[in-house]
Amino acid sequence: YNIATIHMEIGNDDEAMNFYRETLRVERTSLGENYRDVVLTTQHVGQVHQQRGELTEALYYFQQALDLQKKAPQQNYGAIAQTLNHIGNVLLQRGDAQGLVHAFSEALRFLRLGGKSNDELTVSGFNFYGLSKMHPEC
């Protein structure tokens, strides 16, 4: 896992992906699906796909992480909000205005449930003026 993170940080996406997938395989086998580390590794696989511009795959892994988080016996609202934020950012990159508004709205809802402020949600990839010109419905 740590080796994969180092590879991702230095831009060696292929090696990072190999290590993350192997880590995910081992974690699922030894820990099962409903374990925090499985969720984190699943998110990291999504982040590598996002870095590569493979947005459909990124969305798949972020959604998988979200599903695992929502099934957890004790939900971590902050972590769910963060995953929804990742999903919203991918949808932003894809130009899916309706999807991103829904994802960011849900992220804000979970942030508030966790007692956090709206300031902790980060939208990346576009400035709001450009987004409003491309998608006035936002």
Least confident among 11-25, 67-81, 121-135: 121-135
Report the candidate in 33, 95, 98 with the shortest Cα–Cα distance to residue 64.
Answer: 33
pTM across the whole model: 0.81
Report the candidate in 55, 56, 43, 57 with the shortest Cα–Cα distance to residue 8.
Answer: 43
Split at pLDDT 50, 70, 90, the class of 128 is: very low
- The pLDDT score that the predictor gives to residue 11 is 82
User: CB-based contacts of 86: which residues, under 8 Å, 6+ apart?
Assistant: 43, 46, 47, 50, 58, 62
- For residues 25 and 70, what is the distance between their CA atoms, to the nearest angstrom? 21
Mind listing the pLDDT tens digit for each residue in 54-106? 999 999 999 999 999 999 888 899 899 999 999 999 999 999 989 998 998 89
User: CB-based contacts of 121: which residues, under 8 Å, 6+ apart?
Assistant: 81, 85, 104, 107, 108, 111
